[in-house]
Structure 1
Amino acid sequence: MRLSRFFIPILKENPKEAEIVSHRLMLRAGMIRQQSQGIYSWLPLGKKVLDKVNNIIREEQNRAGAIELSMPTLQSAELWQESGRYDAYGKEMLRIKDRQDRPMLYGPTNEEMITDIFRSSVKSYKDLPLNLYHIQLKFRDEIRPRFGTMRSREFMMKDAYSFDLTREGAEHSYNKMFTAYLRTFDRLGLRAIPMRADTGPIGGNLSHEFIILADTGESEVFCHKDFVNFDIPAENTDFDSVDGLKGIFDKWTSLYAATSEMHDESAFNAIPEGERLSARGIEVGHIFYFGTKYSEPMGAKVQGPDGKEHFVHMGSYGIGPTRLVPAIIEASHDENGIIWPESVAPFDVVVINMKAGDEACDGTCELIYAALTKAGKDVLYDDTDDRAGTKFATADLIGVPYQIIAGPRAVANGEVEVKDRKTGARETMTIEAAINRFVA
């Protein structure tokens, strides 16, 4: 993509309404634009990052055996009345009526709808276990939306819902998602701490939040310091191994961790003082096992191997992609801008033409741009006639992991400079070597 043809409305000054680093940088880098309170458009640069986050989430959900579908954003109030949550959910639910005066709602979550889909189609235990997921925009009418897309009213959520014949089966499904979440956040360049949590309006008696350590977080974290150093499950993890996944779950949960709301002070104090970790964090995922909370009132049951009907045991598993993007920024930035992990960067590399219009610089940049693009790299080519300082500031602000800098003097010697955005290290190398570094 040529920068001269890309839509990226950079802001030179910090927006006054932005309270935290991620909100400031997302606005300054032209990633998002606020449309109304707590509602944002994702502009091209932001959408590229969001899409890469979603792709990683999708790959790990598929690896764990979940199956993707798509459910509507507008839901019938009848389903929520059937489960008993319509009146109990609170003012965060946006309630509306259609032209036939039928009560509808803009879905904040999808337990009722997925249960309705399940009960209409699955009748036998032979079709279990089953895990269905989608990635969808949702709406919760937050009383105080803040921090940009970190806590917005409209947001994107990955919901997965598991169905099992027994509690034991449901716990294995829970462990699958627990393991998949550890892998997902690691691939996003984050270390997420799973912590026992309140189930809230979702219900149930087993729940974990996944927390990213950050000073701007709204959750308090109390845990053993080794929580941030445990090995992440490998790509070849056997998700069908009951004992293997239970071992992963037990390993991570054997060391005490909790949010401030669930803090067991005696358990935390039992950890040797030098091994305690007390910090703040951002919730980026939440998983629940809630048994038959929805299947019983909504009649979601299957025939078991004993010939009798059984209400299925369910769980739900959420990750907020539109919350993850600012969380990554909170965890990875400096005074010059964003530092994207390579896995979610909007571009793999930016080619900076230091003297647009110069025949040698133009030719070199076009050569590099074409070679990297042909090799499948996502390349941003700064072909503008801006000043050098502006070009460098833009490249640092938007956080592309690598910069290839082509100036007249270096190009005359058959060389370019390669800068690592994360470390700031610069290396002069031949044009061929620079290309080979990214395509080899």
Structure 2
Amino acid sequence: MKWIFLAGLLVFTPLLTMFLRNNRQHLPKAAFALGLLPFIETRLNISAQPYGWPGWQGYVKGIDISLTDAVAVAMIVAGASIKTPLRIKLAFLFFVAVFVISTMAADAKIPSLFYGWQILRCLLVYYAVSRAATADREVPLNLLTGLITGLSIQAVVVVQQHFSGTVQAGGWFGHQNLLGMATHFIVYPAFAAFLGGYYVRRTALCVVAAFVVAWAGGSRATIGLMCVGLFATMVLSCWHRTSSRKMAVAGAGALGIALAVPILIAAIDRRSEVAREHSNDERDTMKAAASMIVADYPLGIGANRFVAVANVGGYYPRAGVTWTSAAAPVHNTYYLIAAEMGVLGVVAYATMLAALLSVAVGTLRMLSPGFEAEYAAGLVVVVLAVAVHSYVEWITMLYPIHAFLAMSVGTMVALRSRATAKKRPPKSVQSAMSHPQPTPAAT
């Protein structure tokens, strides 16, 4: 069956590419599909592996190819050229270089190569969004609408799961922490647009859906970060542009968050105190095991290999990790990267986040008041939320989160490019400045 699917993609991809290339006005529709596809693919498993290890304990189990890849390739070809900021290029190349070094030092290299393939897939998503958004200014809005649609569907799903007896509903993603982190990439740009008065119905729906997802999931990190992130979005949005309407909406939003806090705390309390304490203890023992691995392998054990090495190498048993958690990586992206890609890996990851934050803040400062500026304010908070959430979760390394981040970065770079183009003089003016006409001689 997978070969039929792959053959279908081989036919579908060039057809879609030619269609979008000849009909660029449909790029926003492709962007909507790109935003919605991670949700659909997770639910229906619309992907195939030409080569894979289904039983592998890592977070990437093979060379995946999906419909998202096909849409991304078509959008890249149909889009317009764009320059990625140098600091993002350098930070990304640093991360890739560290990945290569850790892979070369690893005993088993194939699992790490699986993660390398995931990086390439996310690079496709980044270029798809950035190039398409450069070609058509409606792409960011339609991408956000696709993401909002996916999150709104999840809100309905988690409510059904909750009333069916699920203590912590994870929607189509299967786990509340994964769905909770995915929410960050959607709710902050939507809330910023809502504050600015842009596309109020769909953005208000997104905020409500995000709260429903957080309530049904009961994830402590998701709930805490979402409340703080929404407040930070209000601050950034008002800092960039203040109006009486925005201040009134922001005040009402702050009141709404405050009123929702007791409900969200009650959602956290659905888990017993014993279960929460056990979770904290397990996280500590996992970090202890990761620290042992870092001490023994300063260059890393190779990406996508933590669980195998932690168990086979005896690190989990020595650290006291129970058998119920032995199949999961350390619940901390920084520790996970340190173990898999060495100390340099953590430096590279932190450098990349710092570069993204710097570009996001710079983009916000460059943009004139409007929907794009509100979107940029939300993207600043997205990067901050990812950096903080990474400290308590490993799921940042999963493909859906990588893909959502690639979409955010692609949008950010396109908005920055557009703001730069507005400030640049027209080519005719540049030419006149470079080649001034001689002054006529006085008669």
Normalised by the length of structure 2, the TM-score is: 0.23
Please say which structure displays the higher CA radius of gyration.
1
Structure with the larger helix share: 2
